Amino acid sequence: MIALLRRDLQLAVRAGGGFGLGLAFFLIVIVLVPFGVGPEQTVLARIAPGILWVAALLSALLSLDRIFALDAEDGSLALLATAPIPLEGVAVVKAAAHWLTSGLPLVLAAPVLGAMLSLPPPAYATLVLSLLVGTPALSMIGTFGAALTVGLRRGGLLLSLLVLPLYVPTLIFGAEAVRRAADGLPATAPLILTAAISAGTFALMPFAAAAGLRVNLR
């Protein structure tokens, strides 16, 4: 599984869907927001938690269609189905590789981008922590969606329509945690719920993703 993870990380970077694409989109969204809503710091500070989380969510969508597409194109996916590693394990590795190349850079860049939106200083730690425990759910849910659409031509739009509704709980609790921290309120409850969603997705979604792969490989 470590060798598969290393291979997926190399493929993600070489295919152009690695660290740069999602991070650049995240930065562009945050830079454009003040042009759309105005430069008033009070307004930016109020909407910053939601904007940061929405931007992170949309950034995670950009590379979802590549999770299994490259393996399907070169025949590796059929070989993985017959490998000693179960397809559930393959799905977990794919989600981990997607998070390392798409989610982790967003977590690291979030404090800098939060400053651009005048996010109150007390909320920075909560912003990083909420993204750290919430973005793995985005990658795992996206892996499930990619498994369902891997055999379809131009399945990117369908993939987005499938996973966006499943992203909503993570978005709600992640943004609420940052919003509470910005207002000086305890953010423990939404952070725990965000982490619970991530844990639940990694407990259940690998089986759903494996079932989707088996259907598409028949």
Query: Residue 12 above 70 pLDDT?
Result: no
How high is the pLDDT of residue 199?
A: 96
The mean-pLDDT minimum among 48-52, 86-90, 149-153 falls in 149-153
What is the residue-averaged pLDDT of the chain? Answer: 87
Maximal CA-CA distance, the chain = 57
Secondary structure (DSSP) of the chain: -HHHHHHHHHHHHHTT-SHHHHHHHHHHHHHHHHHHH-S-HHHHHHHHHHHHHHHHHHHHHTTTTHHHHHHHHHTHHHHHHTSSS-HHHHHHHHHHHHIIIIIHHHHHHHHHHHHHTT--GGGHHHHHHHHHHHHHHHHHHHHHHHHHHTTSTT-HHHHHHHHHHHHHHHHHHHHHHHHHHHTT---HHHHHHHHHHHHHHHHHHHHHHHHHHHHHH-
User: How many CA atoms within 13 Å lie on the side-chain side of 37?
Assistant: 17
Condensed to tens digits (0 to 9), the pLDDT of residues 152-178 reads 776 677 888 889 999 999 999 999 999
- Mean pLDDT on 169-197: 95
How high is the pLDDT of residue 15?
A: 60
How high is the pLDDT of residue 49?
A: 93
| pLDDT confidence tier of residue 150, bands split at 50, 70 and 90 | confident
How high is the pLDDT of residue 143?
A: 92
In degrees and rounded to multiples of 5, residue 38 shows phi and psi of: 105, 160
Condensed to tens digits (0 to 9), the pLDDT of residues 72-99 reads 777 777 777 777 788 898 899 999 988 9
Rounded percentage of the chain residues whose pLDDT exceeds 70: 94
- Mean pLDDT on 18-41: 85
| pLDDT confidence tier of residue 14, bands split at 50, 70 and 90 | low
Q: Tokens representing 164?
A: 């966006």
How high is the pLDDT of residue 72?
A: 76
Asked whether 50 and 164 are in contact (CB, 8 A), the reply is no
Rounded percentage of the chain residues whose pLDDT exceeds 90: 48
- Mean pLDDT on 123-151: 92
- Mean pLDDT on 60-72: 81
> What residues contact residue 19 under an 8 Å CB cut-off, 6+ apart?
13, 101, 102, 105
Q: Tokens representing 102?
A: 């798409």
- Rg (alpha carbons) of the chain, rounded to whole number: 18
The mean-pLDDT minimum among 16-25, 95-104, 190-199 falls in 16-25
